[in-house]
Chain A
Amino acid sequence: RKEVEQDPGPFNVPEGATVAFNCTYSNSASQSFFWYRQDCRKEPKLLMSVYSSGNEDGRFTAQLNRASQYISLLIRDSKLSDSATYLCVVNKGALGSWGKLQFGAGTQVVVTP
């Protein structure tokens, strides 16, 4: 089983609609979680950090469910510019893994006019 699993998609979303997708992680000791955005094999860029029960940044909302070991990302009022691959990233959390992140393979979102 992969340490961080994501639905690869693609999620095809009409412009203006809402899209949500999840990411599951296997290490219950994980302490920090992030969503990154990656465009066309360019570098990953930090979208949001998810440190507690979740947080919101404009049209983007991230939720953390520790009991079920998943995090979610919701995008409201989708824009064409939101088309990208969204990477779920989890701090490995175990002793000796300080600062080491585990990346999911990404969920592709395609926003259509």
Chain B
Amino acid sequence: NAGVTQTPKFQVLKTGQSMTLQCAQDMNHNSMYWYRQDPGMGLRLIYYSASEGTTDKGEVPNGYNVSRLNKREFSLRLESAAPSQTSVYFCASSGGGNQPQHFGDGTRLSIL
């Protein structure tokens, strides 16, 4: 009954370091999403993948890259971390279209 699984749950990085956030879903969903959430703000879409083999920019893509490795997995990479990327990152998946999205339990990332 895993749903959407994110790793790691917590991470502290130094400015300039790189890292990849992993996300996997077992619901056979076509679409997957990466969001960030900052205090006082709604979730903001970083990148999404409408289906396996496609990725598109969301609202705040700068400083990030993504890979849709297969239907199950969608990773988010920070090539050179900056303090402004300190946030909580959520991965989500859905059947697409007007279907609701289901979220992983988040990665809390701090960049010093």
Contact between chains at B42 and A43 (CB < 8 Å): no
The reply to whether A41 and B37 contact each other, CB–CB distance below 8 Å, is yes
Q: Is the CB of A4 within 8 A of B48?
A: no
How close is A11's CB to chain B, nearest CB, in angstroms?
17
Cβ of B6 to closest chain A Cβ, rounded Å: 9
Q: Give bound CA distance, A32 to B100, whole Å.
A: 9
Query: How far, in whole Å, are A27 and B23 apart by their CA atoms in the complex?
Result: 30
Most-contacted residue by chain A among B44, B94, B98, B106 (CB, 10 A) = B98
For chain A, give the interface size range: 20 to 34
Please measure, in the bound complex, the distance between the C-alpha atom of A54 and the C-alpha atom of B50, giving whole angstroms: 28
Q: Would you call A99 and B48 a contact (CB within 8 A)?
A: yes
A-B residue pairs in contact (CB < 8 Å), sample of 13 = A8-B40, A42-B106, A44-B90, A46-B101, A46-B102, A51-B98, A87-B42, A99-B31, A99-B98, A102-B42, A103-B43, A104-B42, A105-B41
B residues near A (Cβ < 8 Å) are: 31, 35, 37, 40-45, 48, 50, 58, 88, 90, 94, 96-106
Residues of A contacting B: mostly: loop
Residues of A within 8 A of B (CB): 4, 8, 31-32, 34, 41-46, 49, 51, 87, 89, 91, 98-106
Chain A residue with the shortest CB-CB distance to B49: A99
Q: Which residues of A contact B97 (CB under 8 A)?
A: 98-99
Q: What is the chain A residue whose CB lies nearest that of B101? A: A101
Task: Give Cα A44 to B101, complex, Å.
Answer: 9
Given known contacts A46-B100, A89-B100, A98-B96, what 19 new A-B pairs fall within 8 Å (CB)?
A41-B88, A43-B90, A44-B90, A46-B101, A46-B102, A51-B98, A87-B42, A87-B43, A91-B98, A98-B50, A99-B50, A99-B94, A99-B98, A100-B58, A101-B45, A101-B101, A103-B35, A103-B44, A105-B40
Contact (Cβ within 8 A) A44 B43: yes
Are B103 and A32 touching (Cβ within 8 A)? no
Most B CB atoms within 10 A — which of A34, A44, A102, A104?
A44
- Residues in A with CB closer than 8 Å to B90 are 43-44
Contact A45-B88, Cβ < 8 Å, known A99-B97, A104-B42: no
> With a CB–CB cut-off of 8 A, which chain B residues contact A43?
90, 103-106
